[in-house]
Amino acid sequence: MARSAPIRSNGDGLSIPPEQVIFGLSETMCVVRQKLDKVAGANIPILIQGESGTGKEIIAKLIHVRSPWSSGPFVKVNCPAIPGTLVESELFGYEKGAFTGANGTKPGRVESAQNGTLFLDEIAELELGLQAKLLQLLQDGQFCPVGGQEDKKVDVRVICATNRNLSEEIEQGAFRQDLFYRINVVNIQLPSLRERVADIPDICDFLRQVYSEKFNRPTRPLSARKLEMMQRYHWPGNIRELENLIKRYVILGSEDAITVELSRTPSSSFVPDIPINGSVSLKKLTRQAMREFESKIILRILQAQNWNRKRAASALNISYRALLYKLKEAGVSARRTTGDVQPKE
């Protein structure tokens, strides 16, 4: 691909990749881009959901730099990283004498985000008591520091992110329903990397350029064969896992580092259930395993071709009719609207 535009920064030094790398070619990310264009300028809470490593923080930063509050600070709170006993004082600050060792007044991160953006990463990790204080902040724009007697007023844009299903958390009593409605005014759902495998070559080349420069290790673009291998991989760690793999490639200077890592993918998913009692038919089980393996290959190619079945048939070197037959035989249907391939009812 053509050399990507460099990472850009705003006044706060926020590093953001070029938008063609962030959004790529997939339909799901096109939807994300359209929604971001509409909501960036509105002072409403936004909830970003997606698996770990899908780039939720990058999207939050992009919303910030494209908003009227871009000249203000972008303050990130990694909720799971702060010990439970310190979360409240870290978020809302404290007054002198609030607890042992509080020898002075300290502003919290909410106050530090004044006239800017407060990004609460993994919001589901907050305990219920703090969720109530956050609800007050969203409702009234006010909060009370630990040990304080009066509320303080702030003007902040709140963006939350989570990799959990908040509806399930609500059912289990771990997340307040009223807070969910407050933070979920606009919902942005990020796809996993395996749902946008067509974007992997561009993301890889961008990351290779970034880390080649950072580590002062010039490297060649990855071979087409290696990129195809990466597009077949499941990527449980999503873009974060891909980034770490590219770092390893740049540092070691060999594609073997990628081959070794990707070859560790468990192959047990291709083995059918084998009864522990009674006899088994080796021929039948082998045939079943091969069908499942063939189906997985077809679905990976469909993903790589943005769910265009005619292009997928050409890439597989089979006829379009044969592809449709194999999809029907596997009991699946390709849905281009979501990029999912789901079993037929």
The tens digit of pLDDT for each residue in 298-318 reads 877 777 777 788 888 888 888
So what's the pLDDT on residue 31? Answer: 93
Note the CATH number of domain 278-343. Answer: 1.10.10
pLDDT at 137: 93
| Mean pLDDT by groups of 10 residues along the chain of 345 residues | 44 75 92 94 95 96 95 94 85 80 83 96 93 93 87 94 94 95 96 93 96 94 92 91 94 84 57 54 72 77 77 83 80 45 39
Q: Looking at residue 334, what is its pLDDT? A: 47
Q: What is the pLDDT of residue 326?
A: 81
Give the residue among 78, 85, 235 at the shortest CA–CA distance from 161.
78
What pLDDT sits at residue 330?
65
pLDDT of residue 279: 62
Q: Write down the pLDDT at residue 87.
A: 87
Question: CA 75, CA 64: separation in Å to the nearest integer?
Answer: 10
85, with CB counted inside 10 A (0-12, 13-18, 19+), is: exposed
Q: How far apart are CA 182 and CA 135, in angstroms?
A: 7
> The pTM is what?
0.73
For residue 8, the SS3 value is strand
Residue 324 vs residues 154, 181, 304, 309, 321: alpha-carbon distances, Å:
58, 42, 17, 8, 5
b/e for 21-56, b at 16 or more Cβ within 10 A? bbbbebbbbebbbeebeebbeeeebbbbbbbebbbb
CATH fold match for the domains 19-191 and 194-262: no
> Hey, what CATH topology would domain 19-191 get?
Rossmann fold (3.40.50)
- Position 288 scores a pLDDT of 72
Q: Which residues lie below 8 Å from residue 51, measured CB to CB, with a gap of 6+? A: 163, 190, 192, 238
Under 8 Å between Cβ of 222 and 249 = yes
How far apart CA 141 and CA 118 sit, in angstroms, is: 12
In sequence order, the β-bridge partners of residue 314 are none
pLDDT at 82: 86
Q: Which residue has the tokens 């088994």?
A: 280
Read off the DSSP letter of residue 25. S
The pLDDT value recorded for residue 274 is: 53
188, 35 contact by CB (below 8 A): yes
- Domain segments of the chain as ranges: 19-191, 194-262, 278-343
Q: Just give the CATH number of 194-262.
A: 1.10.8.60
- Phi, then psi, of 119 in degrees rounded to 5: -105, 115
What's the confidence (pLDDT) of residue 215?
Answer: 94
Under the phi-then-psi rule, with left for phi > 0, alpha for psi from -120 to 50, and beta for the rest, what region is 216? left
Nearest of 45, 80, 76, 71 to residue 58 by alpha carbon: 76
Do residues 88 and 133 lie in contact, with contact meaning Cβ atoms separated by under 8 Å? yes
Match 């300290």 to its residue by tokens. Answer: 106
- Name the β-bridge partners of 199: none
The DSSP letter of residue 221 is P
- In sequence order, the 6+-apart residues with CB closer than 8 A to the CB of 310 are 320
